[in-house]
Structure 1
Amino acid sequence: MTAAAPVRASTPRPKAAATTSTSSHAATAPAAAASAFTSRPGAPPPAVPRPPPPVVPVTRRSKRPLSTDFLSDDATAAFVRRVLCPQHQAGNGTPPPLEDLLPPLTSRNDVDLQLYALLAVILRDFVQAWYSKITSDETFVAEILQIIAHCTRALEQRLRKVDLESLLLDELPDLLDNHITAYRTAHNPVARPPTQANPRDIYHALCPLVPLSPVPKPEAPESAAKQQENETMYRQLLVQGVLAILLPTEDLENECLTALVGQILSELIIGNVLINKLAQPWMLWEIMIILVRVLGKREPETTTLEEGVAEALSPDAPIIEPESSTRAWSFQGIFWGVIQWLFMAFTAVQLVVLTLASSSSLPARSTPVLDAKSSLAGSGSATKAAKANASKPVKAPIVTFKLWSCISSLIELDSRTPWLSGALSMLQFGAVSGPAKLAGLDGPLDRLLSHAIHSRLLDSSHLPTLLRATRGALFPNNAQGVSSLTPPADESQLRALRRRCASALLALVPRWLSRFYLSGRGLGLRPRTVPSRRLSGSGELAATREEGERDVGTSGGQTSTEEREESEEDRTAEEERVLREIEEGILDVFSDEYCNRHLVYGILELILVRLMPELAEKGVAELWDERLS
C-alpha cells in the first residue's frame, strides 16, 4: 500500500519591511536625485530602476506524523543515562558506557539499549514518580534493575533451548485454531428457539480456564466481581512462579523487592498491557489495520520500520480502501497476460528446481537429544530427562504445521471452496508421504523452509528494530502521552472501525480473487447476507447526480446512463457483500472480549510453559519451598 503524502503546510510569505522615517527618507532620496539630474540641460535621461525580482516560495518537505529523533541510539542512550544513572550526570568528563553502569540484560548490547529505554519509561512513570517523594536514594531502582536483569538473562538462556520454529508456527496457531472453532460453535449452536444458550457459557465449556470462571453475566454483577478477583489472583500466582524459577536465592529472600517486581509484572505488564488491551476487539482490529499499513507499500522516503509504524499510528494516516476501478479486457491484453503468466510459471519452476538441488547442502533440522551428563548419571536422571523431553512437542514437518490449518479455518476454506481444500490436502499428503518425501521431516523442502524461517523470521538482528518500533508506538517521545489508539465511543464507531479493518484486508487481495472466493462462486458456502441494492452516503449522491443527468439527456443517453447506473449499483452491492463476508466470517471471531481473554491467557501460558517447564510439573508453593529450604 502506498501511504498518501501528508498535507503540506502553507508556505509563509515574507513580511513587509517596517515603515520608518529612515526608510522613507532612503526611499525618497533616489527620486529627488533623479529629478535634480533631469533638470540639468543636456543631461542624459536617468536609468529607470528595475523592479525587485519576484519572491519564489520555498518548497518545504512535508512534516512526518511523529518525530523519530528520540528513537536514535544517541538520544536513547542519553535518555537511559538521565533516568537510570542520574548519579553519573554531574561529572564533566567523558561518561562511561552504559554497559559499565547498568547490569547486562542479554548478550547483545543493541538489544540491551532498547530494553533499558523501555524500563526507563516504566520505572520513571510508575516507580520514581512516587518513590522520589519519599527519599532521594537511587539504590532502590538499582535493585529493581538487578532483579529484572537476573530474569532476562535466565530467560535468554532458556530461550536458546526452545524450538521457536514449532512454537510460533505450530503450537500458537493451534491455539488460534481452537479459538476460532470454539467461537463459531458457541455462536452457532444447534439449539433453536425457544431454547436459549449463552455463547460465553458454551465457549467457556469448550475452552475452560480457571481464572475466567465464573462466566460474568449482566443479571448477576457479583459474578463479574468474582471473576475479576480470580483473574487478579491467577496473574499474581503466575508471576510468583516465574520469579521462583528465575531469581537467585538471595533475591527471593528480599520480600519487598519481589513483591514490588511481582506487582509491576502482574498488573502493569500482564494485566494492563497484555490482557486488558490485547483482548479488546477494537485493539485487535486496529493492530490489523496497522500491520496492513506497515507491511504494505510505503513512500520511498519512508525506509525504516520506526517511521512506518509512526506513520501508521498517526491520526492523519490514510484509510485503506479496496480498488473499485474496473478493467476493460481486450485481446491484446489477454495475450500479453498469458505470456506474462507463462514466463512467471517457467521462472518459478526453475527457481524451485535450483533451490531443491541446493537444499542438500543445508544442515538438518535439530532434534532434541539427551544430555550426556544425565545419561551417565544413572537410570534416575535418565528417567527425569525422558519425562522432560516427553512434555516437549514432537518434531513435525513444516508442511504439516498447524499454521496452514489455522489459516484454512480462519478463511473458511473447507466451506467456501471444498474442492480447493481437498486438492491442497492431497498435495500435502503426497509431498510428505509420497515416494520422494520432498516435504517429509528433514526432506529437501523441509530443510529449505526451515532455513528460510530461521534466516528471515527468527533472525536476532531484527529484535532491536522491533523493540525500537514498539517503544515508538507505545511511548511516543519516551512518554505515555495520548495514544492514537483510542477505544470507540459507541457501537456505531465500533462498526465503522470494523468496516475500515475489512476494507484494509480486502485491499490486500486482488479484486478478481475476492469476487470469486467471497461472493459464493467457489461452489461452497453461499453469502451470509444479501445487502440491499439501495446506495448510501456517497452512493446516493452519485445516484442523484446520474438521475439529474438522465433527466436532461436524450433518449439514447438516458439508456446508456441507466445501464451505467445499474452496473455501478451491481459493483457497489457486490463490494458491500464482500465486506460483510470479511466482517462476519473473519473479524467476528475476535469481537467478544471474554472469549479473547481465553486466547490471550492461553498464549501466555503456552509461552511460559515452554520457557519454564517446571510450571507445568510443580505448584507455586512447592517451587518456593524448594528454593528457600
Structure 2
Amino acid sequence: MSKFQPRPKAPAVANISALSTLDPPSRSETPMSQQGTRLTPIDPTSSRATQYLIRRTLCSQLGDKGPIDEILPPLTSSNDVDVELYAYIAIIIREFVHTWYQNITPDTIFVEEVIQIIAHCTRALEQRMRKVDLEGLIFDELPELLEIHFQAYQTSTQALHPPPFRTDSRTIYHSLCPFPALSPVPDPEIKHAVEQQAENEAAYRQLLVQGVMAVLLPTEDLESDCLTSLVGQIFSEMIIGNGIGGKASEPWLLWEGITKTAEVIQSKLPNSKAQVRLERSNSVSSDHAFDVISGSSTKGWRILLSAEKLFWLALQYAFFTFTTIRFIIITIATSSSLPTRNPHDTKITGSASFQGGLETPNYIRTKRTASISNPSLKEPIIKMKIWSCVSSLLDVDTRMPWMSATISMSQWFALTGPGEVGNTDGMVDKILSNFIQTHVLDPTLIPLILRTARAAVFPSNTLAPARAIPTATEQLVIRQRCAETLLSLVPTRLLDVYFGPDGDRRVREVEDVLDMFGDTYCNKHLLYGVVELIVVRLLPELAEKGVEELLNERLG
C-alpha cells in the first residue's frame, strides 16, 4: 500500500471485529428472552452487517488490526462510499473468486492484488469524474440516447406493409442504430448468425475492459498478463456480460426496476394517492355524521358550509400566492451570487471524432459543433435534450400541440429575449443548475443509492437464486403494474385533462410507451450505448486512440 498516497480520512468507524460471535446472554435472562434475541433479524445493509461482510471476506487474513478504513486502501475520498463499494467487492470476490481460488491455494496475495488494482482505478476515476460535465451527461446526452432509442423502436415496430408481407423489426432497428458489436442481427432460424453475434459481443466487452485498464492501471500491473486477464474476465463477462448484456436487458427486469423506482419516489411524496383518498373518505364521513346529528341538511346549514369552504379556499389561494411571490423574489435576489457554469480554466480533454477509438454507435456522435470546438461553453439547461425526451415520451406534439408550441415559444424567448435569462449563466440557467447540484447531484445521496441497489441486486449480501423467466402473460402483468405505478405518481386531475376519464385507456397508453423496452436485442443497443458514452466521457483517450495503440504507449 506504500505506492499509493492515502487520502485524509474522516473519523474512523468503530471497530466491530467481534461480530462473528454474539455476546453470551447473562444468567438472569430467561429462555424466552434468549430465543427472542436469537430470532431478531439483522438488516444485511446495516453498518454492522456490512462491515462484518467486508472484514470476513477481505480482511480475514489480517486479523484485528484496526478499523477497516485503515486496513484496506481508500477507494474514494468518502468513507461512506468506500464501505458500500467494498461491500460490492466482497460479494463479487466471495461468489466468483473464492469459489475456485481457495480450492487451488490458501494464499491471499491474489485477492490483495485485485483490491489494489480496483482501488487504483476507482481513485483515478474519481479524479476524472470531477472534470466531467455531469449536468450535460445526465440531462443532455443520456436523454438523447433514450429519445433516439424510443423513436427508432417505434419506427421499427410499425408495419410498413399489410400481411402476408413481413418485416423484421430488429433488422430495421439495427439499421437505424448500427452497433458493430451486435451484428449480425441474430435470427433463431440461423444458428451461425446467433453464434457470430455472441462472439462479436464478447470480443467487444473484452476490448472495452482492456481499453479501460490500459488507461487506468499502473504500468507494473498492466505488465502482468495473468492479473489483467483474470480482472478483465471478471469485469467483461461477470459484470458487463451477465449483468448489463444479460439480465439488465430483459424487458420484464427493466419494467420491474422502473416500478421499484416509482414506488420509492411515491413513498417520499408528502401526500400519496392512498393518503388523499383516506382524507377524502374521512371528510365525507364527517360531513355525513354532521348531517345525521343535525337531523336534516337545511338550506341555512348548506349556505353556512358553502361560505366556510369558500373562506378556507380563498385563504389557501392567498397563502399560495404569497408563498410563490416570496419564492420568486428571493430566488431572483440570490441568483446573482450563484457560481458560474463556465469556468475559464476548462481545457479540452478529448476529441469528438471517434477515429481509431471505440466503435461508438452513430447516435452517440451527435454532439453540437459549439460544444466540440469549445467544451468550456456548456449547453443551457433549458436547451438540453431532457425536455425533448420527455415531450417525445408523453407525445405532447400530438396530444396537446398548443402546449408544445407554448413551451417552445417560452424557451425561445428565454434564450434570445431581454437579458437572455435562459442562456448559459443566465438567471434561470443558474437557478436550475443550483437546484440540480443541490438536490440531484448531491454527493451525500451516493451511499444511499449504492446501499439500495445492493439490497435489490444482492439480497442478504449474497447472490439471489436464479429466477425463472416470467411467461409472456406474466410479463404483460409486470408491464401493466409498472404503468399503474407510474400513473399513481400523477394527480388525478392532471390525468383527467391529459388522458381523459377512462382509466383503462390511461394504462394502455402508458403501456405503449413502456413497450419501447419490449425487445432484448434492442435494449442491448441502448444499454451498451449508455456504458460506452460514460466510459468515453471519463476516459477521453479511448475516443482518440485505439486500445492497441494505448497498450503500445504504456508498455513501450
Under a length normalisation based on structure 2, what TM-score does the superposition of the two structures give? 0.79
User: What is the Cα deviation at residue 142 of structure 1?
Assistant: 0.5
Distance 1:591 1:367 in 2: 42
- Residues 321 and 504, structure 1, Cα contact 8 Å, conserved in 2: no
- Residues 322 and 507, structure 1, Cα contact 8 Å, conserved in 2: no
Change (3 A) 1:162 1:410: same
Q: Does 1:217 align with 2:187?
A: yes
Change (3 A) 1:432 1:103: same
Q: CA RMSD in A?
A: 3.2
Gap regions ≥5 residues in structure 1: 1-60, 301-318, 373-385, 520-570
Distance 1:596 1:105 in 2: 31
Q: What is residue 455 of structure 2 aligned with on the other side? A: 472
CA deviation string 1:141-171 (max 9, x = no partner): 1011111111111111111110111111111
Q: What is residue 532 of structure 2 aligned with on the other side? A: 605
Distance 1:323 1:211 in 2: 51
Distance 2:391 2:384 in 1: 12
Distance 2:167 2:46 in 1: 54
Distance 1:288 1:321 in 2: 22
2:340 to 355, 364, 371: 364
Q: What is residue 509 of structure 1 aligned with on the other side? A: 490
Q: Does 1:445 align with 2:421?
A: no
- Residues 320 and 504, structure 1, Cα contact 8 Å, conserved in 2: no
Distance 1:392 1:272 in 2: 35
Distance 1:208 1:389 in 2: 23
Moved more, 464-473 or 154-163: 464-473
Q: What is residue 554 of structure 1 aligned with on the other side? A: none
CA deviation string 1:349-368 (max 9, x = no partner): 33122201211111111346
Q: What is residue 590 of structure 1 aligned with on the other side? A: 517
Q: What is residue 545 of structure 2 aligned with on the other side? A: 618
Change (3 A) 1:222 1:503: same
Whichever residue aligns with residue 360 of structure 1, its letter is S
Report the secondary structure of 2:418's partner residue. coil
Distance 2:551 2:132 in 1: 24
1:174 to 144, 166, 175: 144
Whichever residue aligns with residue 431 of structure 1, its letter is A
1:119 to 65, 75, 89: 89
Distance 2:71 2:398 in 1: 60
Q: What is residue 79 of structure 1 aligned with on the other side? A: 53
Identity of aligned residues (%): 47
Distance 2:543 2:259 in 1: 36
Change (3 A) 1:361 1:501: same
Matches within 5 A, 1:351-390: 351-367=327-343, 369=345, 390=373
Change (3 A) 1:357 1:191: farther
Distance 2:45 2:529 in 1: 33
Whichever residue aligns with residue 482 of structure 1, its letter is P
CA deviation string 1:305-356 (max 9, x = no partner): xxxxxxxxxxxxxx9999799999x966678556634542442233122201
Q: Does 1:238 align with 2:165?
A: no
Distance 1:497 1:591 in 2: 12
- Residues 347 and 375, structure 2, Cα contact 8 Å, conserved in 1: no
Distance 2:139 2:316 in 1: 33
Gap regions ≥5 residues in structure 2: 1-35, 285-301, 349-368
Distance 2:440 2:41 in 1: 28
User: What is the Cα deviation at residue 192 of structure 1?
Assistant: 4.3
- Residues 499 and 579, structure 1, Cα contact 8 Å, conserved in 2: yes
Q: What is residue 473 of structure 2 aligned with on the other side? A: 492
Runs of 4+ in structure 1 over 6 Å off = 319-328, 386-389
Whichever residue aligns with residue 509 of structure 1, its letter is V
User: What is the Cα deviation at residue 437 of structure 1?
Assistant: 1.7
**Count, aligned residues:** 476
Q: What is residue 580 of structure 1 aligned with on the other side? A: 508
Matches within 5 A, 1:212-361: 212-297=182-267, 337=313, 340-341=316-317, 343-361=319-337
Report the secondary structure of 1:172's partner residue. helix
- Residues 371 and 377, structure 2, Cα contact 8 Å, conserved in 1: no
User: What is the Cα deviation at residue 456 of structure 1?
Assistant: 1.5
Report the secondary structure of 1:216's partner residue. coil
Distance 2:241 2:275 in 1: 34
Change (3 A) 1:371 1:407: closer
User: What is the Cα deviation at residue 593 of structure 1?
Assistant: 1.1
Distance 2:403 2:486 in 1: 21
- Residues 422 and 428, structure 2, Cα contact 8 Å, conserved in 1: yes
CA deviation string 1:385-419 (max 9, x = no partner): x9996485851111111111111101111111111
Distance 2:173 2:374 in 1: 27
Moved more, 124-133 or 80-89: 80-89
- Residues 68 and 472, structure 1, Cα contact 8 Å, conserved in 2: no
Report the secondary structure of 1:459's partner residue. coil
Q: Does 1:421 align with 2:397?
A: no
Distance 2:276 2:520 in 1: 28
Distance 1:321 1:222 in 2: 57
Report the secondary structure of 1:352's partner residue. helix
User: What is the Cα deviation at residue 510 of structure 1?
Assistant: 1.8
